[in-house]
Amino acid sequence: MSYSKPNLDSKHYENLFNSLPSLEGKSVAITGTTSGTGFVAANASGKLGANVILLNRSSERADKALIDLRQETPNANFNQIECDLQSFDSVRNAVKQIEDACPNGLDVICNNAGVMALEDMATVDGYDVQMQTNHLSHFLLVKRLMPLLKKAAEMRGEARIVNHSSIARKQPKKTLDAKFLEKNGGNLGGNGSSLFFGGARWLRYNQSKLANAAFTACLHDKLSTANSKIKAMVAHPGLAETDLQSTTVKEGGMGKWITEQMMKVGQSREDGALGILKCIADPEVESGQFVGPGMGGMFTAVKGEAFCYPLEKFYDNETTRNLLWQKSCDAINESFDIG
């Protein structure tokens, strides 16, 4: 039998949504909108009046999500562009289409898509499937979208880069290790799936979510030094009832029973989207902030309202920032200068 999701009520979503300003005249691109927090953020951005670009790999799920979004919010403008984060070529092709769809610049890129605790597997480019999907392809996407983000910032005063991390950025390691960013896909520790006792699938997820936070720290550091009007921020969703757990159980990353017990203390996918939604649309969120429920350990940050916190020193330090930037540029085989 497959994993059954609990039925969790949304407690904070409506209040937040009602507090957000119109996004009329803005373009918002979001990766991974076929389910979960990405679907919620896309729907909310559409309701707020944005031109919404859905960046998904091609699938029946993607087609169905587009139909659902158009049904739920018929007046919104949703435009789906194929973008498979397991392939750098696919990301480069997607950027060309985003350029055509956003002649007046891109106001927000929300790097939401993610996979969790998958097998030790290489992408077509040779990188770990989790690190490429969750971080490296987003790094390439942001690099290639910089001209569009600059254009929006010049025309409308600001643009935003939003990353999506996790409580898992802290567990089991707080140190980013170069080998996970190098061309070692399929050779990074095997398929151990123990969540609490160092399973290699979870260590690779931890490294990719640490990379999301470190990427934000790099961007904030470089953008603020350059006096840019582009902001970089990062959110985490706590423990949110999305398709992430179903996929992980199906792929052998987590047992059905333990997942069902764990998710009972989680929150709805709408409440899980509070962090990215604030980063996308709340005028009070500043560059260099981390947005999500409580910032304590695993058990205090699983649910609740999303608050803004400073970035944490375990990744916002010169050594980690330099490592992340250099290894990510090496992986995409492009330099990335902000100035």
Ligand X SMILES: NC(=O)c1ccc[n+]([C@@H]2O[C@H](COP(=O)([O-])OP(=O)(O)OC[C@H]3O[C@@H](n4cnc5c(N)ncnc54)[C@H](OP(=O)(O)O)[C@@H]3O)[C@@H](O)[C@H]2O)c1
Q: How far apart are CA 140 and CA 160, in angstroms?
A: 16
Does 330 bind ligand X (CB under 6 A)? Our answer is: no
Of residues 179 and 250, the one with the C-beta less far from ligand X: 250
Q: How far apart are CA 282 and CA 51, in angstroms?
A: 17
Helix (H, G, I), strand (E, B) or coil at 32: coil
Does 244 bind ligand X (CB under 6 A)? Our answer is: yes
- Min dist CB 6 to ligand X, Å, is 12
Q: Which two tokens stand for residue 327?
A: 């290894």
Q: How far apart are CA 70 and CA 22, in angstroms?
A: 19
Q: How far apart are CA 278 and CA 234, in angstroms?
A: 10
Q: How far apart are CA 63 and CA 78, in angstroms?
A: 12
User: How many CA within 13 A on the CB side of residue 154?
Assistant: 8
By CB under 6 A, the count of residues binding ligand X is 34
Q: How far is CA 332 from CA 32, 251, 326, 328, 336, in A?
A: 20, 27, 10, 6, 10
Contact pattern from residue 2 through residue 21 relative to ligand X, giving x for each residue in contact according to CB under 6 A and a dash for the rest: --------------------
Contact pattern from residue 221 through residue 240 relative to ligand X, giving x for each residue in contact according to CB under 6 A and a dash for the rest: ---------------xx-xx
- Min dist CB 210 to ligand X, Å, is 12
Of residues 112 and 207, the one with the C-beta less far from ligand X: 112
Work out the angle between the directed axes of helices 137-156 and 200-225 (0-180°, nearest 10). 30
Q: Write out the binding residues for ligand X, residues 119-178 only, by CB under 6 A.
A: 133-134, 164, 166
Does 316 bind ligand X (CB under 6 A)? Our answer is: no
Q: Write out the binding residues for ligand X, residues 71-110 only, by CB under 6 A.
A: 83-86
Which residue, among 332, 329, 215, 232, has the nearest Cα to 289 in the 3D structure?
232
- Residue 232 — φ and ψ, nearest 5°? -125, 125
- Min dist CB 39 to ligand X, Å, is 7
Q: Which residue is nearest to ligand X (CB)?
A: 36
Of residues 32 and 46, the one with the C-beta less far from ligand X: 32
Does 293 bind ligand X (CB under 6 A)? Our answer is: no
- Min dist CB 2 to ligand X, Å, is 14
Q: Do residues 50 and 23 lie in contact, with contact meaning Cβ atoms separated by under 8 Å?
A: yes
Does 59 bind ligand X (CB under 6 A)? Our answer is: yes
Taking contact as CB under 6 A, which single stretch among the options 1-9, 217-225, 243-251, 320-328 is the one that binds ligand X?
243-251
- Min dist CB 47 to ligand X, Å, is 18
CA 237, 169, 139, 125 torsion: positive or negative?
negative
Q: How far apart are CA 180 and CA 326, in angstroms?
A: 13
Taking contact as CB under 6 A, which single stretch among the options 35-43, 153-161, 177-185, 325-333 is the one that binds ligand X?
35-43
Does 275 bind ligand X (CB under 6 A)? Our answer is: no
Which stretch of DSSP H or E encloses residue 206? helix 200-225
Name the site residues for ligand X (rule: CB under 6 A): 31-38, 56-57, 59, 61, 83-86, 112-116, 133-134, 164, 166, 236-237, 239-240, 242-244, 247, 272
